[in-house]
Chains A and B, each alone.
Chain A
Amino acid sequence: MLQQKLRVILLTGRTIEQGVGKERGKSSKEYFEAVSMCYMDAGDMKKLGIKDNAKILVSTEYGSVVIRAIKYPRAATPGIIYIPYGPWANVICSNKTSSIGMPSFKGIPAEVEPALDRPLLSMEELLRSEFGR
């Protein structure tokens, strides 16, 4: 049976594509493609009834963002989604610093739902919608 929502643990981090994209330029197409996505377990995607490269809405208690879901190619990682560092990930990252200045960028409880008809914002659009500039 298809599920409407899935509870997962959100990790953020580096990918080689993100590294290449950031060196090319943050406004480049490579960077946009590398960071406006998330790796997701194939089984989890099946539970939500979504295909590779489908748009999803990821929400945490700090915010929510539309990104593309990509099947994680290496192994099964049920219950874990991985978003490369970038403006999209930061909309939903925790800002609890445990009084040492470091927010929790990994291991945040999150919810995923399909968002096929929601738009995927470009960096300018995202910044404008989040910060009004």
Chain B
Amino acid sequence: MSIVKAVACPVCGCLCDDIELTIEDGKIVKVKNGCSMCESKFLGYRNEHRTRKPLIRKNGELVEVSIEEALRKAAEILADANYPILYGWSSTSCEAQRVGMELAEEVGGVIDNTSVVCHGPSVLSIQEVGLPSCTLGQIRHRADLVIYWGCDPWSAHPRHLERYTTFTEGRFEKSDWKGYMKKVKASTGKKKVQSALRRKFVKNPPQLMLQPETMSKPPPAMMKEGRKLIIVDVRKTMSAEMADYFIQVEPNKDYELMQALRALIRDQELDVDTVAGVPVEYLEELADAMIQCEFGVIFFGLGLTMTAGKLRNVDVAISLVRDLNMRTKFAIMPMRGHFNVTGANVVSTWQSGYPYAVDFSLGYPRYNPGETTVMDILLRQESDAALIVASDPVANFPKKAVEHLVKNPLIVIDPHMNATALMGDVVFPSAFAGIEVGGTAYRMDHVPLPLKKVVEPPEGILTDEDILKRILEETRIVKWRMMEAS
């Protein structure tokens, strides 16, 4: 039995690097410090849902074949294609992504990563407006006001609050965990009193009933000492329950709400009563809290990028932070989803000059979101083959895009039998990056961290990087033969 410390968790953009794993007989048997997603990944990596052998579709069925046969088939598909797409990349290491870029150039395809359906609009806005940001370490030690806008960290980044923001013990700002526990106790007490009253006066309920909890309560919490947590969202999430203040915005109206906040921060008056379903007086409270903090930060999620306005929502969020920096210190950061989606943007940028949606069909990199984004290519039905690495577009793309994706030859590299692999023509099983193979990954604040190899992959299973290198080699051979033949 051995214990491996300081393992980076290859699940979400938090990339928590304090995981402790207990290894017994070459298997992970215990996970310490991780969230439930982390445990699910580290304990379930070897379960029955794993693909063990390369597969090729023959007569409509996926059948097991040798790795050489699968490589040959994949190379033929890519060499034959006029406009292949190479998509995924955010759940693998930077080293594999680098080979992917080379392969995209070799086959004259489009290489795009999952940020296209995630923070792609944020990337576009950042290119237009800039990004006043910082590292999560700075936030942990200094931020006294944390705002999550259009995201639910408790569900999507479970340890974000406890490791980087409100519930972490920083050097200059203390954890608000005790305050939160007090609040929980108080609310449980209230509920007990209520139920006792209900039981006693079951026939004629008394007037003494406590007020129902609503978001419209003026926030005494704003006056509290220490770290403050504010959530802006369209529904009351678990994170919203933990917050000192929750603002419920109507769906698709984040843009208006933020523009109203910008006006308030510039000391302008609003001559309406509500904006996007939120009373102006609460917005004034929020604006005051923002101005009065020493160091605030806004984390924004897909609630901004996937709703009406898309990149314009992020534009105005960044502009809001720019305005706030005239009054105090403020930063903003997107809540990146997969553990290495930031790395996919970084690798793509340093190799080609562009963060995603890079088109090599003319022999040089071209970038025009809306035209060279995988989603638009699929919806316009232009691609004629696809290579999907460490991603599951069949489960995550709209129906019409998937229809075109599965109409053409589809190569899948993934450890699991996911929806895309079920629809694939060639399926390669691969080793888990961060468990069975090391590498580099970028945390959501662009800090690169090493991924550790803690156990050996199952016999005969290659890493994403090796599979891609061998596909690249094989593709060059096939192309050479095609040239000779012609």
Contacts and interface: CB of A to CB of B under 8 A. Distances in A.
A91 interface: yes
A9 interface: yes
A98 interface: yes
A131 B406 contact: yes
Interface of B: 11-12, 36-37, 40-41, 44, 47-50, 60, 116-117, 120-121, 124, 152, 154-156, 158, 234-238, 240-241, 251-252, 302-303, 305-308, 310-311, 357, 369-370, 373-376, 379, 392, 394-403, 406, 416-419, 422-423
A1 interface: no
Contacts of B116: 101-102
Given A19-B156, A26-B417, A105-B306, A100 B399 contact: no
A63 B392 CA distance: 20
A26 B37 contact: no
Interface stretch (A42-50, A51-59, A77-85, A111-119): A77-85
A93 B11 CA distance: 25
A90 B395 contact: yes
B40 A90 contact: no
Interface in A61-101: 62-63, 72, 74-75, 77, 80, 82, 85-87, 90-95, 97-101
A24 B422 contact: no
A82 B357 CA distance: 29
In this complex, the member of A24, A102, A123, A130 whose beta carbon has the largest number of chain B beta carbons within 10 angstroms is A102
Given A19-B37, A26-B49, A99-B376, A106 B396 contact: no
A5 B350 CA distance: 52
Contacts of B400: 62, 95
Contacts of A24: 40, 44, 47, 49
Interface of A: 9, 11, 13-16, 19-21, 23-28, 62-63, 72, 74-75, 77, 80, 82, 85-87, 90-95, 97-107, 123-124, 127, 130-131, 133
A26 B419 contact: yes
B431 to A, nearest CB: 16
A97 B49 contact: no
B152 A14 contact: yes
14 contacts: A11-B251, A13-B303, A19-B36, A23-B40, A23-B44, A24-B47, A26-B49, A62-B400, A72-B235, A87-B419, A100-B121, A101-B116, A101-B374, A130-B402
